[in-house]
Structure 1
Amino acid sequence: MFVGRSAELTALTEALARATAGEPQALLIGGEAGVGKTRLIEELHAVACAEKAVVAVGGCVEIGADGLPFAPFSTALRSLRRQLPDELKAAAEGQEDELARILPELGQSDRGALGEDGTARLFELTARLLERLAADRTVVLVLEDLHWADASTRHLLAYLFRALRRGRLVVLATYRADDIHRRHPLRPLLAELDRLRSVRRIELSRFNRAEVRSQLTGILAAEPDPALLEQIFERSDGNAFFVEELACSIGTGCSTGLSDSLRDLLLVRVEALPEDAQRVARIVAEGGTTVEYRLLAAVGRLAEDELIEALRAAVGANILLPTADGDGYRFRHSLVREAVSDDLLPGERSRINRRYAEVLETNPSLVRADERTTRLASHWYHAHDAAKALPAVLSAAVEARRRYAYSEQLRLLERAMELWDDAPEEVRGTLRPPDDVEVYPPCGGDPTSPPLRYLDLMAEVTVAARFGGERERALAISKKALRILEGEDGGKDPLRAAWFWIQRSRLTQDLTRGDGWQELATAQELVRGMRPSAVHAEVLAAVANWGALHQPGPDSLAAADRAVEYARLVGAELTELHARLTRGWLTADAGGVEEGIAEIYEARDRAVELGAAGILGRASINLPSTLESMGRSEEAVTAAEQGIAFTHRRGLADTEAWVRHNLAHSLFSLGRWTEADAVLDDTVELAQSHKPRGLIAGRRAELALARGDFDEAHRQVELTRSFFGTHDFQPQHLIPPARLAMCIAARRGALADARAEFERITEHGFPPGTRQYALPLLCAAASIEADTRGLPDADAGRAAVLTAIRLHAKRMPTLVPVWHAYGLMLEAELARAEGRMAPELWARAVAAFEATERPFELALVRQRWAAALLDHHADRAEAADLLVLAHTAARGLGARPLTEEIELLAGRARISIAPTPAGIRKAPGSAPDPDPARSLGLTPREQDVLRLVAAGHSNRRIAEELYISPKTASVHVSNILAKLGVSGRTEAAALAHRLRLFPDQAA
């Protein structure tokens, strides 16, 4: 009978109800061993099944160096596949090779698609698979024994708890609270999840006396004697499992002989079994969480009749249970398994593990293929046979790497390092790097290649630690490897040393210990003058990319050219594509706009062909960013939306966040600020690392400043700087926050602070290729000086600031229309700061901005031109037209400070700025738009949304089709309804059909 836990069961059933209503639920259930976690889950299982929910249970496995990678998820997904075969197939369509790393039955995983972003991609695809499965039915995913979870399982669970935003899904995990000591790897995760409001944690306490009485009544089928109740309650201390064990022991007449030792208590019923049954129990205890029947028969060496009789005795005594699939056996409670395992003699444990390993080597089909390598490695390791264990552990490490289980790979490789010196030389001489490992300097993967060296092992450890997020460990290993290279080889292996220096450069930047240049310079010096090689090409590509980020200009472009040349010579196509992305970006910055952008498109398309996710992710960031910096914002929006689709399908969540920031940037430039807001809201949930989070904060600061929320703008600027730090001067990360800080300080009347910020950011000048950040900053500085003319103490330092602005501006060629427009604005602002209103300069700036896609800047320069005309007592009608245009644009954008400036100027000049059709001057060159959708004021993205609205799609369906969130889709629909002047979706669809906006639909 089910005893107590009414409050806990109510909490679980309420979570089930919320999930059924479409709100995903995340729960953690903790409690000491034996307190009743599994029994509570069984009760929830019954309730869920009664409500037609689909329940899948997976348990963590205590095996291998740090558990079997993704074991509970593999088991649970396998269960979902049995229950929902067609639905899971449809949900995984197109991503089977990636998802096969967790559920091998889906297909053959792509062994070549390895890299730092692989884990994040796999996690995002898994989250989306579960969301799709739970779209039309309630799914309950239960993960038991989280205290045994491998690192990959812990990371995936944490990702799911954050990333699941839709679907009728309950994710529930259990763990032993008494096992979570201060250094237990689950402890940081629990602390992190406690901070998430979306995760509910339930702690199960021990039973009180009344609950123990109820439990004993169920076990004994009668009310317990008060003395017996008192004895069992005192001995068990309310632990449900101990209550049961004590009651059963009393039932067999062992009450007087019970030991006070917990282990002895747990072994009482095991020791009462026949000898063969005890032997089988010892073998099962050492075989892991579950042991397959055929494997047990081979290891036990019992005749089949004897084995079945022994198993019947163990099952009858409630010691062992058959597994759910009927293929094997497990202990009814893990505490008993641990007690039996702990009771083994050292030699006995080694012998049983050796027997397991020998049987698996002879007949690998006895266990599931995805578990075979890891289990074999574990058994040989615990058999204390270094000669057998080292190759097995290395094979398991390769398998973990192919599954993106980098943390498990790291633990296995560290175990291999431990075994290295104990393994015979003849064994080490037969080892070769696997053929899909790319981290070594070229040494091949075939039998003719040089044997695996300890340094090769260290190289793999370095990469596994970096990919697994343990960067401190990676840095320590890379430093140790370089000391070995310097001492052992006396510097005779420059390629290997250069490779380790590249790793140190990356790690130094990741850990905010510096900008990584000194390490790259060392690597570059090591390969200087050597024949082309893959390592040489990688060094050059890294140098070029570093230069593009820190010192864009001719030297960095030349390094990119050399990197492409060397990569082509040695056939390192992935390195070549990375270098081509860098070269395209730098070429466009240098003035070869069409050539550079074309190269980025080509590299992106080739990455799609190769399925190179890392390069594709980088291209998805670089292409819209480059287009935006060239003033091609509409094209940048299209490129960003394509990039979001690419990264979303491949599960590159952090990269998708970066691309979404780029989309928000271009939307801001185009004056689509509400859309930019919605994109940023969605992006916050995706961003995992500091840089995209810093970019998001910077974009929010830009919006807040333009809208007049200066406190929020200041907060976001500080947040941006906290994410980027000061250790690594990258113009794209430091110049825009400096401009925003200057403007905020000026708005608050702190001119000295604004000037100090300007002096600090311009101290080292602006490298070539940074004009897209520097020109707006110089315009802001000049505008601040112009706005403060005549203020007390403001004129003293103005001449020095203006001189500095002119000096920096002279070094910035304005090669594309948007840069040219900013150059003209800067010239006009400098004149205004010197006391010259110069209408002709503002007229040129207005004409230049009218040819760009920058409505905010256009409104600003129109206001400035109108002010200059009024100052010169020039044409008031023209000034009025300019103010009406500027005011209409500023109000439409929500740019409160600019709107107020325009209204103040119009009020002083006694000019009406009410927007009337007769009074609004058309922009030069404007003409009726032949496209009926565009003539209604709909943007290209709004046209896409309206097409789907007209087809009858819901917001969620629109979001899925266009790779946006339902919230963003809702914003678009609201904008469309407002622009069309209709009250609902049905009217909008009817109007679209009536006007034949989408002829293909009408047909």
Structure 2
Amino acid sequence: MLGTVHSSHISPVFVGRSAELEALGEALSGANAGGPRALFMGGEAGVGKTRLIQEFLGRAAADGAVVALGGCVETGADALPYHPVSTALRSLRRQLGAELDAAVAGQEGELARLLPELGEMDRGRPETDGRARLFELTVRLLERLAANRTLVLALEDLHWADRSTRELLSYLLRALTHGRLLIVATYRADDLHRRHPLRPALAEYERLRTVTRLELPRFDRAEVRRQLAAIRGEAPPEQVLDRVFEHSEGNAFFVEELECSIREGSPGGISDSLRDLLLVRVEALPDVVQRVVRIAAGGGSEVEFRLLATVTGLAEDELIETLRTAVGAAVLQPSEEGESFRFRHALMREAVVGDLLPGERSRLSRRYAEALEADPALVRSEERAGRLAGYWFEARDPARALPALIAAAGAARRRHAFAEQYLLLERALELWDDTSEELRRQTIRQAVDDGLCPAISPDTPGEFVDLLAAITVAARLTGEQERALALCKRALRQLEGDPSPSPRPRSGRGDPLRAAWFWTERYQLMRGLARSDGWDEIAHAQKLVKGLPPSVVHADVLTHAAYWYAVHQPGPTAIETAKQAVELCRMTGAEITGLIAQHTLAWLTIDSGDVEAGLEQAREVCARDLEPDNANVLLRGYGNLSTALHGIGRYAEAVETAEQGSGLAERHGLPDTASFIDANLAESLIQLGRWADAHEVLERAEARRGVSIRIRGQIAEQRAELALARGAYDEARRWLEESGSSTTGPYPEPQHTLTGARLAIALAAADGRILDVRSLLDTAVGEAIAPGHQRYGWPLLYEAAAAEARARRLAVAEPGREAAVERIRKAMKGLPEFVPLWASHALMTDAELLTAEGRDATARWTEAVAATEQLQAPALLAVARSRLAETLITQGGTGSRGAAGELLRQAEAVARELGATPLETEITTLAGRARIPLQQADAEAAPPPAPAAALGLTARERDVLRLVAAGRSNRQIAEELFISPKTASVHVSNILAKLGASGRGEAAAIAHRLGAFDA
């Protein structure tokens, strides 16, 4: 609309900032080298951040970089989510055109949430996974565009940024790993009060090695002199320099304003009031121009030419000339494309807005709102709803603002801007009491039709609680769980007529369906906040819907209830609940919820014994066509199917399923789901003996951006499993601790508690801490292991039984051994064995218990080996073979030695290939004691086992024995090894038992005789 207009008020020469330009140049050089970089620049208002950025971007562009600028809006940011990012992407599309379109090919529907010009947005469910996908696809787009060129994205005025923009920026800073990309952002340091949301974000950014942060100082006297000389065209008189420097204190913008005021002889001279100083420029303009400037200030940070023309009522030519005057006076400036205008500096707009009378501001907002309602095309489509809501709210017209705010919240929801949706709905709640009942009813009905409010009970009135429901969901999605819980309580008090602050389970009075919806939401929140396992909440929701006609709410309640049963109490009740949920979902058309219910039913069916039927149900769900609204549910189904296959020992099928699901989740931009599936994939790879592949998958899963804490806990669980198998016990303990802090809590799930207990028992057994083994088992199992948890229960019981068998000769293990063995046998009786894997575990566990009791376990170990040979578990088979070999050696018998040798050689070959150090050491020690060569062809040339290894002691026990041999007391051993004297005493007792020594002196003699510590 207007070309570039140069003003004599602005220095044509760029002054100072050499250090800052150098820092920007270094960041750009880092990006040029292929590593994404970011630089955050703070400074007070008017200090020159924008001018510095413009200078830098100009130099970067001259060097061949593609630069794009986006600015945060000063007011109404909550209604315009992602505005600076959308502006920058729009600039990139103008510059790169078809190349950008090619980079987003196939993902237009998702990325349209940021850049509507790409097409229609996908109509997926607005859940957090959808937003994670949007963020991930944005990362991939930028990495593609920056693969072969340097890309500079500049985001100005970050102190005004909406929360969704801040969260997207945080994701970018962590997720960008390659590409020649530099992100530069500016913010007003003097606007960051103690509770400003940008303060903690900046502190977090600074910890990233790719991020630089700098503060822009004011000009010193010499720099102010240069600035004034550039503006004047000659050196300023010393008196003027003194005056300007004293009043501006080196603020570049104030220097310009003061120089203008002095040179043009402002009637009021140099004002002591900042606002008056900023208004001097405006008040010097002709009246018609002043009027347009004031109207522009009331329109927001940037106002479109056509919108401004409508509100001012000026003809196009007259408005152009008026704007030309304002631009020439350095009050306004045109946008990059020339179709809109903004103040040259936000401080000036703030001064003009502050000078408007309250009634004047509301009338201006009304005129903007009316103009926009009459012609929606006056602004960009993605900004229309938000701008209209802001104008009507500022116009102080609740009747017009309420529906506008609801519409803007819906628009934010479609863009996955949950924080802005939440804030807009909270603002609507403020206006609720100031509007008519009929307007409320119409507004909420429209919100329900648009999907903003949950369709709880469309046929019965409940406008206020429906609004509370919408805010509750938005608060939960944006992470405001405490606020969501408070809203639930408020709604339930109203629905159930309970004045107390914490609702108690009641009848739901006349609206049980809405009450059930809020109790279900409360169930999710209480579990998320770790304040309950959710049973009280979901059980009450079930009571409320019992006997009601079929509904989406009823289907949702039963789906959540079925899941709770599947996790905590699988069995007939769980299966029946899941079946009812599936049928209700079918009847009510709750398709996505129905997929979840089918997954749960499939899992329960497998565990009940109908394995093939359950697997077929799970495969049917996974075979559905992937669509934006069902992608995450279906892909998590791949993870559930793979872990179900793993649980029944079909590891190869589990790997195939998980690899397919992980790849699909990766392509669909669902990092949390991809890592969830990868954790299951690694679990099966470990059992197949593909430990290197498992390690690689876990590395990939952990490195993936956007992975939740809970999934990271599952990854840590598998890392602990792998470290334990390799004998890296300290590493295993670290991973187990990390896993426990992420997957357990006040209300843990058995799948994690049982797995964690098994790993802890194995580590305690490796240290010879048999009493800890028994304590851990009692804590984990309680009275019994519930049916449905056998996939976790059998390995746990085997580890406990194996620990008892290995501790048979330890004096410390003797008291309580009989009770411990009986405890394990009792737990075994309740667990099903209809799957070959579980049957094998049952045989191995029983064989270990026979060994612990000192009875002949040869027959049982023979059965166990035969059963395990039918599985796809090389490490488990190696354990069974080595244990059978040990039994044959100790029990004796004709031909036993030859059979034992063959078993040991088979087991040792597997252990060596896998890198299962503890198992290999155990086999080597046993073979050495029995004088059985492990490499039959090279038996004579094979070196004897290490003397220390031949003692059969753990690494810690060897450390203790070394100190015993040196004559140390238990207290001295404890001090040197940083353990308690009691623990040292236990280790000494274990050593004496294993060596068959009568005392410390004899143990030391045995060690010296074998030359165990000669090295």
Q: TM-score, normalised by structure 1?
A: 0.88
Alpha-carbon distance change, 707 to 273 in structure 1, aligned in 2, over 3 angstroms: same
Structure 1 contact 837–871 (Cα < 8 Å) conserved: no
- Please say if residues 65 and 415 of structure 1, whose CA atoms lie closer than 8 Å, have aligned partners that are also in contact: no
Of 10, 18, 26, the match for 1:6: 18
- Aligned mate of 1:896, from 902, 906, 917: 917
- 1:81-100 matches, within 5 Å, as 81-100=93-112
- Residues 1:556 and 2:574 are matched in the alignment: yes
Aligned letter for 2:597? A
Which residue number corresponds to residue 674 of structure 1? 692
Corresponding residue SS for 2:338: coil
Aligned to 2:993: none
Deviation at 1:780, TM superposition (A): 0.6
**Partner SS state of residue 840, structure 2:** helix
Give the length in aligned residue pairs: 915
Aligned pairs (5 A) from 1:388-399: 388-399=400-411
**1:442 positional shift:** 4.4
User: 1:472 — aligned with what?
Assistant: 482
Alignment of 1:404-483 (within 5 A): 404-431=416-443, 432=445, 433-437=447-451, 440-444=454-458, 453-483=463-493
Matched, 1:278 2:290: yes
> Could you list the per-position Cα deviations for residues 494-525 of structure 1 after superposition, in whole angstroms to 9, with x for gaps in the alignment?
00100000000000011111111100011001
2:197 is equivalent to residue 185 of structure 1: yes
Distance 1:915 1:693 in 2: 45
- Indicate how the Cα distance of structure 1 residues 671 and 31 shifts in structure 2: closer, same or farther if over 3 A, else same: farther
**Paired AA for residue 265 in structure 2:** G
Alignment of 1:394-793 (within 5 A): 394-431=406-443, 432=445, 433-437=447-451, 440-444=454-458, 453-487=463-497, 491-606=509-624, 608=626, 611-685=629-703, 686=705, 688-793=707-812
Distance 1:366 1:578 in 2: 44
Tell me the CA shift for residue 441 of structure 1. 4.2
Aligned partner of 2:967 in structure 1 is: none
- Shift of residue 787, structure 1, vs aligned partner: 1.4
Aligned equivalents of 2:778, 2:544: Cα separation in 1:
38
Q: Which runs of 5+ in 1 are unaligned?
A: 920-1003
Amino acid at match of 1:252: E
CA distance in 2, matches of 1:645, 1:282: 56
Contact 1:745 1:753 in 2 (8 A): yes
The one-letter amino acid paired with 1:212 is V
The residue type paired with residue 646 of structure 1 is L
Q: Deviations over 1:637-691 (max 9, x none)?
A: 2211222222223322222221121112122122222222222222223354231
Alpha-carbon distance in structure 1 between the residues aligned to 2:271 and 2:781:
78
Indicate the residue corresponding to 2:121 in structure 1: 109
Do the aligned residues in 2 keep the contact of 1:398 with 1:434 (CA within 8 Å)?
A: no
Paired residue type of 1:600: A
Q: Equivalents in 2 of 1:695, 1:584: separation in Å?
A: 22
Q: Which residue pairs with 1:907 in the alignment? A: 928
Write the letter of the residue equivalent to 1:864.
R
CA RMSD of aligned residues (A): 2.1
Query: What SS does structure 2 have at the residue aligned with 1:175?
Result: strand
| 1:311 maps to amino acid | L
**After the TM superposition, which of the residue ranges 885-894 and 789-798 deviates more from structure 2?**
885-894
For residues 695-714 of structure 1, give each alpha carbon's deviation from its aligned partner in whole angstroms, at most 9, with x where no partner exists. 11211111222222222222
Q: Give the Cα–Cα distance (whole angstroms) in 2 for the partners of residues 775 and 732 of structure 1.
A: 12
CA spacing shift, 1:299–1:819, aligned 2, 3 Å = same
Residue aligned with 2:69, SS: strand
Q: Output the CA distance in 2 between the equivalents of 1:576 and 1:376.
A: 38
Question: Structure 1 residue 259 and structure 2 residue 277: aligned?
Answer: no
Distance 1:609 1:464 in 2: 23
Letter in 1 for 2:786: P
Q: Indicate the structure (1 or 2) with the bigger Cα radius of gyration.
A: 2
Could you say if the C-alpha distance between residues 189 and 665 of structure 1 is closer, same or farther in structure 2, counting changes exceeding 3 Å? same
- Report the CA distance shift for 1:590/1:451 in structure 2 as closer, same or farther (over 3 A): closer
C-alpha displacement of 1:349:
0.3
Change in CA separation of 1:368 and 1:609 when aligned onto 2, cut-off 3 Å: closer
**CA shift for structure 1 position 480:** 0.4
CA offsets, 1:307-330, max 9 Å, x none?
222211110111111100110111
Change (3 A) 1:771 1:37: same
Cα distance in 1 for partners of 2:922, 2:772 equals 23
Residues 980-999 of structure 1 mapped to structure 2, 5 A cutoff: none
Residue in structure 2 matched with residue 864 of structure 1 by the alignment: 883
Counterpart code for 1:574: I
State the match for 2:238 in structure 1.
226
Look up the equivalent residue of 1:601 and give its one-letter code.
R
Contact 2:761 2:800 in 1 (8 A): yes
SS in 1 for 2:67: strand
**Matches of 2:17 and 2:842, distance apart in 1:** 72
Q: Deviations over 1:599-629 (max 9, x none)?
A: 1121122262674133224313211111111
Cα pair 2:405 2:425 within 8 Å, conserved? yes
Q: Distance in 1 between matches of 2:25 and 2:933?
A: 64
Cα contact 2:632–2:673 (8 A) shared by 1: no
Q: Which amino acid aligns with 1:225?
A: P
Aligned to 1:167: 179
* CA deviation map 1:405-428 (0-9, x unaligned): 111111111111111111123322
Residue identity matched to 1:471: Q
* Cα distance, 1:79 vs structure 2: 1.2
Deviations 1:234-282 (A, max 9, x none): 3222222222222232222349722222222222212211111111111
Judge conservation of contact 1:880–1:913 (CA < 8 Å) in 2.
Answer: yes
Give the Cα–Cα distance (whole angstroms) in 1 for the partners of residues 520 and 508 of structure 2: 19
3-state DSSP of counterpart to 1:55: strand
**Does the Cα contact within 8 Å between 1:63 and 1:375 map onto a contact in 2?**
no
Query: Does residue 151 of the first structure (1) align with residue 163 of the second (2)?
Result: yes
Residue type matched to 2:681 in 1? Answer: L
Structure 1 residues 912 and 241, CA gap change in structure 2 (3 angstroms):
farther
Contact kept, 8 Å, 2:672 with 2:708, in 1: the verdict is yes
Query: 357-366 or 531-540: which moved more?
Result: 531-540
Which residue does 1:885 correspond to in 2? 906
Once the two structures are superposed, what CA deviation does each residue of 1:821-863 show, in whole Å capped at 9, x if it has no partner?
Answer: 2122112211221223523322322222222222221222222
SS at match of 2:195: coil
Is contact 1:67-1:149 (8 Å) kept? no
User: Does the C-alpha gap of structure 1 residues 321 and 555 become closer, same or farther in structure 2, counting only changes over 3 Å?
Assistant: same
2:389/2:408 contact within 8 Å kept: yes
Residue 66 of structure 1 aligns to a residue whose secondary structure is: helix
Kept in 2, the 8 Å contact 1:274–1:310? The answer is no
> 1:788, 1:490 → 2: CA distance?
59
Partner deviation per Cα, 1:563-613 (whole Å, 9 max, x = no partner): 111222222222221110100111111122221111112112226267413
Superposed displacement of residue 817, structure 1: 2.0
Letter in 2 for 1:776: P
1:335 corresponds in structure 2 to: 347
Q: Note the 1:292-371 alignment, pairs <5 A.
A: 292-371=304-383
CA distance in 2, matches of 1:659, 1:131: 25
- Asked if structure 2 preserves the Cα contact closer than 8 Å seen for 1:65 and 1:412, the reply is no
Q: Which amino acid aligns with 1:907?
A: G
Q: Secondary structure at the match of 1:608?
A: coil
1:567·1:575 contact (CA, 8 Å) conserved in 2? yes
Measure, in 2, the Cα distance between the counterparts of 1:183 and 1:284: 31
**Deviation string, structure 1 residues 922-963 (Cα, Å, up to 9, x no partner):** xxxxxxxxxxxxxxxxxxxxxxxxxxxxxxxxxxxxxxxxxx
Matched, 1:838 2:852: no
Q: Secondary structure at the match of 1:30?
A: strand
- How big is each residue's C-alpha offset from its partner over 1:896-930, in whole Å with a ceiling of 9 and x where there is no partner? 212211221222222332487999xxxxxxxxxxx
8 A Cα contact 2:530 2:747, kept in partner: yes
